[in-house]
Chain A
Amino acid sequence: MEKKPKIFMVDDDADLVLVVKSVFEASGYEFASAGSAKEGLEKIDAVRPDLIILDVMMEDLVAGFRVVNALRDYEANPQNRAWATTPILMLTSVQQRTKMKFSQDVGSKLLPIDSFLEKPVKPQALLATVAELLKKA
């Protein structure tokens, strides 16, 4: 049987996580979640995700950015080396405010993520973006 791709959502909005979980499970994915950046980094080895959906503002204004740096900068964080190339989709409602720009290149001055979507996002758009990122991975 083909292995289901596993999505790991790190977001402090419990209701949003539940609806996203429901959407992904109904579409044939495995799903796990964490409610903070700290919990996300603690759980990632156990979850072993194929793709990470990440919020920005959680326990503080830039918690999501810290997760990105902890995963992508594996020289400073060798324990996270296994997840250095796992696609990260940032799902945020603060894109305009932060003027966030991203690049897939580690070491770039831009945020090294694979894609972002601004909330509110439609389920079909989220599923399509995730499918595309997994295909590229």
Chain B
Amino acid sequence: MRDADDRRRGRSPVDGVECRENLLINHFFHDFKGNISTVIMCIEAVSDGVWGEVTERQKASLGRAGRTCERMIRLINNFRDMTQMEEGVFESEPETVNVGAVLEGIEREIAPVAHERGQLLDFVREGRLPAATFRGALFERVMKSLFEVVLDATRRGGRVIARSGCDGGGLSVDVAFEAIEADEETLGTVFDRLAQTRTGLQLGRGFTLLFCREAVAWMGGRLHLGPWPGRGCRVTIALPLKPAG
């Protein structure tokens, strides 16, 4: 696979190679998702009690296995979509989405994970979040991916404060989390493919943050990772929204 910067610059435009590379990527995604899908189905079937009762502890363990598989699916989807964004061929249909409901759904999903890890999660939605026409599915995946990284980076017993609100036709999300402290410059390296390991945000998690930043930029917004002085880090997202109707 070529370096992403080469793709952006349009280097190596050998049609046959390009075509085979895309097919290879397609087949890889298909095979990976197919295999993980089978694992998820097995886990869910056991957890749902299709073949008999399971205990709460077994269910919790199966739940963790299922969530991990879903993370792997998100990771591979993020990689695929970022590749397409860099190649300028990514497409995502706008849809009318209730922004508040999307954020509530994410809160419902991540709250048990934070609780299990002994983290204190505050979700604050300021004012009414309207229905809007935008890339809702992509936004939802960005937010889920972002919270995965945030919960991984937050220390046990640490606090995560997620504030969201609408202001002047745009959506703002601010996620502050108690983690390793780093200055602005060091945090900037998270988005550098080669230097991201130095920040203490583990390798691979930096890729997820990079995807979040690129996807938000693709939607016309901005993602910034900065310090939360004396506490940890904070991610802020500003995203333009077109009210529905």
Contacts and interface: CB of A to CB of B under 8 A. Distances in A.
B34 A26 contact: no
Interface stretch (B6-14, B36-44, B190-198): B36-44
A123 interface: yes
Nearest to A101: B93
B33 interface: yes
Interface in A68-108: 93-94, 96-97, 99
Most A CB atoms within 10 A — which of B26, B37, B48, B80? B37
A120 B69 CA distance: 10
28 contacts: A15-B38, A16-B34, A16-B41, A19-B42, A22-B50, A22-B51, A23-B50, A26-B50, A61-B26, A93-B29, A93-B34, A93-B37, A94-B30, A97-B29, A97-B80, A119-B34, A120-B36, A120-B40, A120-B41, A120-B70, A121-B37, A122-B40, A122-B41, A123-B41, A123-B44, A123-B48, A123-B50, A124-B44
A20 B41 contact: yes
B45 A22 contact: yes
B73 interface: yes
Given A93-B29, A93-B33, A120 B73 contact: yes
Interface of A: 13, 15-16, 19-20, 22-23, 26-27, 57, 61, 93-94, 96-97, 99, 119-124
Q: Which residue, A93, A120, A122, has most C-beta atoms of chain B within 10 A?
A: A120
A57 B50 contact: no
Given A13-B35, A23-B50, 4 more contacts: A120-B37, A120-B69, A120-B70, A122-B44
B91 interface: yes
A61 B22 CA distance: 13
Contacts, number: 60
Contacts of A97: 26, 29, 80
Interface residues of B, number: 23
A13 B36 CA distance: 11
Interface of B: 26, 29-30, 33-38, 40-42, 44-45, 48, 50-51, 69-70, 73, 77, 80, 91
B146 to A, nearest CB: 20
Contact of A16 (B38, B50, B51): B38
Contact of A19 (B34, B41, B69, B77): B41
A99 to B, nearest CB: 7
B109 to A, nearest CB: 14
B30 A123 contact: no
B78 to A, nearest CB: 12
Please indicate which of the listed interface residues B33, B73, B77 has the most CB atoms of chain A within 10 Å of its own CB: B33
Contacts of A15: 38
